[in-house]
Amino acid sequence: MNITARRISGSTFSEEDKLEVTFNSDNQPMASVVHTIELVSGINVTHGGGGQPADYLHYKAIDRDADDDGIIDYSDIEMVVVQESQGTSVIKVVCEAVTKADADTFNVEMVAYGEREKVALDLGEEFTEVAPTLTPTVLKTGEITLEWSTDNFV
């Protein structure tokens, strides 16, 4: 799996830019993909209408809804990013991805965990087993430089 991004609109004379973000799942159906930005340096940048860096938001693919099985296409999204003041910012786009196979495995493990917990509690025994966890895959793009400035009259 990998993620790449590029700026597709905006200029050095506006605070707003639009990024095209391409996610390659290696043809694995995905249960969830959420995106955020990482501020590497410079002026703070928001995304998706006000999300702060490290706030994960759910973006779905451009002009595509879920298929008949409910699988959402996350392959190509657009993300609006806005610099909070004039200056230069360096960001990365970050995503957390969970494959459908990993989510299905986690769900089976959680059901089994719940059954073991119920049996232990019904027997009056202490249940100390740690619940299963689902750890998403974290992917990051390279650095994207955003600049918002003004021009001088000459």
**Which CATH number is associated with domain 2-99+135-148?**
2.60.40.2410
Tokens coding 14: 């506006």
Residue 50 is classified by DSSP as T
Going by pLDDT thresholds of 50, 70 and 90, the confidence category of residue 62 is low
Look at residue 150 and give its three-state secondary structure: coil
Domain boundaries, the chain: 2-99+135-148
The amino acid occupying position 45 is V
Residue with tokens 């230069």: 88
Whole-number pLDDT of residue 73: 66
pLDDT higher for 86 or 72? 86
Going by pLDDT thresholds of 50, 70 and 90, the confidence category of residue 114 is very high
Going by pLDDT thresholds of 50, 70 and 90, the confidence category of residue 79 is very high
pLDDT higher for 118 or 152? 118
Task: Give the model confidence (pLDDT) of 123-147 as tens digits.
Answer: 999 999 999 999 999 999 999 999 9
Task: Give the model confidence (pLDDT) of 9-57 as tens digits.
Answer: 998 999 999 999 999 999 898 888 999 999 999 999 999 999 999 999 9
Give the max Cα distance, the chain.
Answer: 85
